Chain A
Amino acid sequence: MSKDNTLGEILRKQGVSRRGFLKFCAATASLMALPPGMAPVIAQALEKARRPSVIWLSFQECTGCTESLTRSYSPTVEGLIFDAISLDYHHTLMAASGTAAEAAREAAMEQSYGNYILVVDGSIPTRNAGFSTIAGVSNRDMLLDTARGAAAIVAVGTCAAFGGIPHANPNPTGAVSVSDLIKDKPIINVSGCPPIPVVITGVLAHFLTFGAIPDLDSHGRPVAFYGKSIHDRCYRRPFYDRGLFAESFDDEGAKSGWCLYKLGCKGPTTYNACATTKWNEGTSFPIESGHPCLGCSEPDFWDGGGFYKAISTPTEDIGRTAVYAIGGGAAAGLALGAINRAKRNKAEKEHEQVTIDDLEKGD
């Protein structure tokens, strides 16, 4: 596809009807909680959009984010939009490899300097550059270098957004997030392990339409998708409110679709669109399939106290603390009690008999 074709031209060539295209724009507007009047604005902008250059850097990642994004069983407009971006560098998807691939990256950087979108997945090791390199270049150096000419950076997946799995205790590689290293570029964190596909396309559509990044929360995630917690949109919420919980994975409560709080669900403290947008084009999401939410779009979700431990439970052995404290307290208490007793005994021993003559104060 020629880079100079507009998105509108490309879509028409691919057989996407105008109606279908407008439906997509309306859906996108609605997904991002924009007023319906924005749909034509999105349509107009996207139609004229030139395919921007996108450089995708993969660092300490599992490729799950890419898998998620490219998972589609029937051609969808989102998939086509993906084609409408000039994906100039992607380890898994590009045809070239080796020096040719690196050359492609450098060419894209030079050609679209200041305008390309940098997408990153995977965390960046800092303890030793040798933990993860590409073409002999450390992840850190490649990120800093590539970020220089980027218009914006999209950190896809919890690893890039917050450090993710490599960042979990004891973090042997010294893994950090993109925002830990880049301070001078707008960064959109699209967290999740992996993130929902349509969240990516929604963010890109926003960028293409408005030339600006969407509203972000305190973690740099688009509010449109991460503004509500799973708990606040979970279809099992009525069970939580009524106090009906599954006690184990296969009990009656579980089979009845009751709340999974007791099984460790992190829904209350997790922000994502899973409960509304769901996965596999609206098929289901973990809770609906009977598994408690892991909290995968939150920083440190791996060290969040245990996937199967409810939020209200302690993360340390309180029982043991209490036992030690009883022992220590008993010892201290007996000692202090003995001091009290000794003091009282001493007072009794030193008692001076009070006689009737002692009842008046002396002069």
Chain B
Amino acid sequence: MMTETQLLVWLRGPALQVAIAIFVVGVAVRLLEVLVLGRKADLAEARGSAVAGGMRTILMRSFPDRATLQRAAFTEITGYIFHIGFFVTLLFYAPHILLFNSALGISWPALPTPVIDATAVVTIITLVAVLIHRLTNRVMRFLSRFQDYLVWLLTILPVVTGYIAFHRIGVTPPILIAIHIISVELFLIVFPFTKLMHAFTLFMSRYYNGAIAGYRGVKS
């Protein structure tokens, strides 16, 4: 029987190494599978710069056009909230920054913990709303598969378990911390096999979109 201390040391050690390895290898493989396919050179005469167009779209596609924002306000707004909330709680909570510093050697200022706490709550509520939307909205329900729901679960678990561990609700805190770490490792392991890859591939897809359009002189 492992003690809680041993469990935490293992989760912070070999288990994390395995999760990171699968994550990094998986992401690298999926990115290269796309990149190596490549794109044939465009033989038509250019009107604009493909590179400039590509770079522009990488940035500007983060901002929706007005008509779509009005038509799909729920999706757009909740999308912003939970993405920003997720990244803020991940990147600006002091203990997390220590983790990144330990692994990558870089550090940055943290946000006050009460701010992170509030952000986590907002993120959780928004993610629940997003799930309800996916289950009830006609288009979302039509498009959604098992993977969409699995990814939702794997995304909300670290936020919820982190919140619970911080506030120490329930079981013994070392176990709560262990559960949080496990949820993160599950997220990392499953990541490369799912649509979560969009976090990396969107740079390519937005670039290609903007490049194709930019070549023709259109700002997409």
Q: Interface residues, chain A, CB within 8 Å of chain B?
A: 162, 218, 229, 231-232, 240-243, 245, 261-262, 268-269, 295, 298-301, 303-305, 309-316, 318-319, 321-322, 324-326, 328-330, 332-334, 336-338, 340-341, 344
Contacts and interface: CB of A to CB of B under 8 A. Distances in A.
A311 B174 CA distance: 10
A112 to B, nearest CB: 34
Contacts of A314: 12-13, 16-17, 99, 102-103
Contact of A325 (B8, B24, B111, B168): B24
Interface of B: 3-6, 8-9, 12-14, 16-17, 20-21, 23-38, 94-96, 98-99, 101-105, 110-114, 116, 168, 172-174, 177
A330 B27 CA distance: 9
B32 A333 contact: yes
Contacts of A319: 102-105
Contacts of B32: 329-330, 333-334, 336-337
B112 A243 contact: yes
Contacts of B30: 333
Contacts of A309: 102
Contacts of A334: 32, 36
Contacts of A326: 24, 28
B98 A312 contact: yes
A333 B33 contact: yes
A305 B181 CA distance: 15
Nearest to B111: A243
Given A301-B5, A304-B9, A315-B13, A322 B98 contact: no
Given A312-B96, A314-B16, A325-B21, A269 B174 contact: yes
Contacts of A268: 173-174, 177
Contact of B29 (A310, A316, A336): A336
B113 to A, nearest CB: 4
B6 A329 contact: no
A333 B72 CA distance: 37
A328 B103 CA distance: 18
A325 B113 contact: no
A139 B172 CA distance: 34
Contacts of B14: 316
A32 to B, nearest CB: 21
Given A241-B113, A314-B16, A336-B33, A329 B27 contact: yes
B110 A243 contact: yes
B17 to A, nearest CB: 5
B4 A269 contact: yes
A313 B112 contact: no
A183 to B, nearest CB: 14
A185 B31 CA distance: 61
Residue of A305, A324, A325 with most partner-chain B CB within 10 A: A325
Nearest to A337: B36
A313 B20 contact: no
26 contacts: A243-B113, A245-B94, A299-B3, A299-B4, A303-B9, A311-B95, A314-B12, A314-B13, A315-B9, A316-B12, A319-B105, A321-B20, A322-B20, A324-B21, A329-B28, A330-B28, A333-B30, A333-B32, A333-B33, A333-B36, A334-B32, A337-B34, A337-B37, A338-B36, A340-B36, A341-B37
- Pairs A-B, 7 closest by C-beta atoms: A337-B36, A329-B28, A333-B32, A325-B24, A243-B113, A312-B95, A329-B25
Given A295-B5, A312-B95, A321-B24, 6 more contacts: A218-B172, A261-B95, A299-B6, A329-B29, A333-B36, A337-B36
Contacts of B114: 241-243
A317 B8 CA distance: 16
A194 to B, nearest CB: 19
Contacts of A313: 12, 98-99, 101-102
A305 B8 contact: yes
B26 to A, nearest CB: 7
